[in-house]
Amino acid sequence: MEISKKALVLEDLAVKNSLEIEEFHQKSHFWGRITMWMVIILSVMLPMYLSFVSGFHPGWQPIIAAFLAYAAMVGYAWVIEPVSYYPTLGVSGTYLAFLTGNIANMCLPAAAAAQNAIGAEPGTKKGEITAALAIAAASLVNIVIIAFIIASGSFFISIIPPSIQTAFQYIVPAIFGGILAQFAIKKPIYGVVAIIAGVAINFAPIMPFFKGIICISVTIAACIYLEKGKNPKKA
C-alpha cells in the first residue's frame, strides 16, 4: 500500500513537471516569435529607408546577385544550424541564440559548458533550462563587452602586435575543438568517428555547400549504427 502511494506521488510529480515544461515551451514560443519578428522588422527598416526614402536603392539585379552569392556560401547553415544545435539549446535556448547571434562561438559553447558543469544532459528539461540561463548570461556579458569594444576597440586593436592579430583566425576552430573534446570525452569513439568523417569529407571532391550537411549526416548515422551494435534487439 505504501509503495503504491509513493508511486502515485511520483506519478503526480511527473505529470506536474511535464505540464510546467509544456507551459514554459508555450511562453517561449509566444515571446520568441514576437521578439524574432521585432528584430527582423528592425533589421530591414534601415535598408528600406535608405532604398525607398533616401533614394539609394542600387537596383534589384545587384541585390539578387549578392543574395545568391551569399546563399551559395552559407545557405546550408540556415537549415543545418537550427537542427543540429536544437538538442543542446532546447526551445528557449534556440530562440535566444538566434536572436542574439554568435551561436557557434558564444551561445553553444556557453550552453555546453554550463550543462557540463552541473551534469545536465543535452535534450533534457534540466539541460534546456541550463542552456537558456547560460545563453542569457553570455549575451548580457557580450553586450557589455561589445559596448566597450565599440567605444575603444579600434585603439586596442591598433596596439596589438601583428603576430598576435594573425592568431584571431584560429579562434573559431579552437572553440569548436574545445566543444568536440568536451562531448567526445564522454564517448571517445563518437569523437573519433566525427574527426574521421570531417577529415575525409573535407578532402573529398564535394561542393563546399554540401560538405557540412554530409559530414553531420554521416557522423550521426555512424554513431546510431554503433549504438545499435552495442544494444542489439533480443529476438
Residue-wise pLDDT for 66-125, tens only, equals 888 777 767 777 888 888 888 888 899 999 999 888 888 788 889 988 998 898 888 888
Work out the mean pLDDT of the chain and round it to a whole number. Answer: 82
The tally of CA atoms less than 13 A away on the side-chain side of residue 224 is 6
pLDDT surpasses 70 at 13: no
List the single range of 34-38, 73-77, 141-145 with lowest mean pLDDT: 73-77
Percentage of the residues of the chain whose pLDDT score is greater than 90: 16
pLDDT at residue 234, as a whole number: 47
In this structure, is the dihedral angle defined by the CA atoms of residues 102, 142, 157 and 151, taken in order, positive or negative? positive
The whole-number average pLDDT for the span 42-47 is 92
Q: How confident is the model at residue 14 (pLDDT cuts 50, 70, 90)?
A: low
Whether the pLDDT of residue 221 is over 60: the answer is: yes
Cβ-Cβ contacts under 8 Å for 47 (sequence gap 6 or more): none
Residue 122 has phi, psi (to 5 degrees) of -60, 140
User: What pLDDT, on a 0 to 100 scale, did the predictor assign at position 215?
Assistant: 84
Q: Looking at residue 61, what is its pLDDT?
A: 86
The reported pLDDT for the residue numbered 31 is: 93
Q: CA nearest 35: which of 85, 83, 86, 98? A: 98
Q: How many helices (H) and strands (E) does the chain have?
A: 8, 0
Alpha-carbon dihedral 105, 108, 114, 120, rounded to 10 degrees: -160
Kindly state the DSSP code that residue 1 receives in the 8-state scheme.
Answer: -
pLDDT score at 130 = 92
- Which has the closest alpha carbon to 136: 31, 4, 26? 31
Question: Above 70 in pLDDT, residue 233?
Answer: no
For the beta carbon of residue 117, count every other beta carbon within 10 angstroms: 10
Rg (CA), the chain: 23
Q: Identify the CA nearest to 107 among candidates 119, 92, 90, 93.
A: 93
Written as nine digits, the cell of 224 is: 546510431
- Name the DSSP letter for residue 58: -
Average pLDDT over residues 125-148: 89
